[in-house]
Chain A
Amino acid sequence: MSALTLPDLTRILAACAGEDEATDLAGDILDIPFADLGYDSLALLETAARVEQDFGIKLTDEAVATLETPRGFLTAADDALRQAA
């Protein structure tokens, strides 16, 4: 298991749920709500599943449902990593 970084997250988001030509995922998106980035709850579930496969970090579906921003996602991933350690 290793920590999840913003570039990891954006790469996985784009792979799992596609990339909108209108949104620059490489920009400062830490606090932009997922809804504004164009990612819905299914996109986040898909992303969380891939994060678990690639990083061994498990987020429950219930936890994923509360995530609102990339910063929130990374924080939740950090917490899960610490708890598992």
Chain B
Amino acid sequence: MTTAPAPAVTRTAVITGIGVAAPNGLGTEDWWAATLRGESGIRRVDTFDATGYPTALVGRVPGFEAADHLPGRLLPQTDRSTRLALAAADWALADAAADPAALPEYESGVVTSNATGGFEFTHREIRKLWTQGPQHVSVYESFAWFYAVNTGQISIRHGMRGAGGVLVSEQAGGLDALGHARRTLRRGSTFTVTGGVESSLDPWGLAAHISGGRLSHVDDPTRAYLPFDARASGHVPGEGGALLVLEDAEAAARRGAPRVYGELAGYAATFDPAPGTGRPPGLERAARLALADAGAEPTDVDAVFADGAGSPAPDDAEAAALAALFGPYGVPVTVPKTMTGRLAAGGPPLDVAAALLAIRDGVLPPTVHVERPAPGHRLDLVRDTPRELSVRTALVLARGHGGFNSAVVVRARRTP
């Protein structure tokens, strides 16, 4: 006989703080304003000579001087991805008016996702290894490269020593982190920092993206990444992402959190069947499960932030999933990623931030550069300019390379 698990405590998880570092804006409000203006951060890489690279378009976070944001002690031990993450975490905490020192140390945790680790740092240390010898490799390489390093550094910096973790499922991981953070709240934590921030645009990182075979080779920043367009040819890699403060609603009210952006109402993840089995891909099922988790129907959804892979086959699959869920032209769909490129695990949390601000401001950010929607998709794509719309419930979709599908439902806080 087995012991029945304790019934899950249904606690409401709310987002009370947002921190953003994105290719089209540093800081939440700068990024959001640029996003509503349709400003793209995709441009030719200018941090190294990319002659000989088949493509050199990237979404790089502009104007980030780590020393302006972090104590000197952290600089020698952090990759750019972690520096961006630490800054975004600071901003999210400030936005939530949360003083980590005043939070219960073991009820506060950090759950992030990361798909690429610390590329630039590692590139430098590997170069030292082969040109100067192993004695010259930084001891900090031991963790600076690591997928878990953002969780660890944020946790150490703010003394958030409760349940934490790191999820690695490429792009989908950005939503999986949020789902797991909510799980920690249901298990007794009250406060989490969660999301994802990435960076891998150094010479080695970009080479790795290229070898993945999914980048567009179109050399025009306005033509390279065109999800759901008849000319879709792959994507552009970017860096950055978002970190969110996700906390128990009652605890947030008790500590006097100044605002609630919305509720993390639903989350689900599925895995695609092996190729050749003939079974359908799992994105639609992830969306249905997330909606069920939120107690919502497709008709409750006011907007979808799509994964937007940017290649014909996965775009067709996502459009088919959306048509099955909502019917042709059944719901406004947008891909603000067209202004940043795909940020691996940083992208979906940034979409969640956009969904929350869409709820706040009653406006959907546009999908840019898509001039010729693929015939047959039958999507109500929000193109070029923002669309004013009262948004109460939004669905955010993400797919990670290798078969990961995740979906999140965010919802305006019900007025008590």
Contact = CB atoms under 8 A, between A and B. Distances in A.
Interface of A: 15-21, 38, 42, 45-46, 49, 52-53
Contacts of B139: 42, 45-46, 49
A50 to B, nearest CB: 9
Contacts of B74: 18
Contacts of B71: 18, 20-21
Interface string B65-86: 0000001111111000000000
Contact of B76 (A18, A21, A53): A18
Nearest to A20: B73
Instruction: Report, nearest first, the 3 A-B pairs whose CB atoms are least far apart.
Output: A18-B73, A46-B139, A18-B72
B142 A21 contact: no
B277 interface: no
B12 interface: no
B222 interface: no
B135 to A, nearest CB: 6
Contacts of A53: 135-136
Contacts of B106: none
Contacts of A42: 77, 139-140, 142
Nearest to A47: B139
B78 to A, nearest CB: 9
A40 to B, nearest CB: 10
Which of B72, B73, B77 has the most CB atoms of chain A within a 10 A radius of its CB? Answer: B73
A58 to B, nearest CB: 10
A75 to B, nearest CB: 22
Nearest to A38: B73
Given A16-B76, A18-B72, A21-B72, A46 B140 contact: yes
B73 A17 contact: yes
Contacts of A49: 135-136, 139
23 contacts: A15-B76, A16-B138, A17-B73, A17-B76, A18-B71, A18-B73, A18-B75, A18-B77, A19-B72, A20-B71, A20-B72, A20-B73, A21-B71, A21-B72, A42-B139, A42-B140, A42-B142, A46-B76, A46-B139, A46-B140, A49-B135, A49-B136, A52-B135
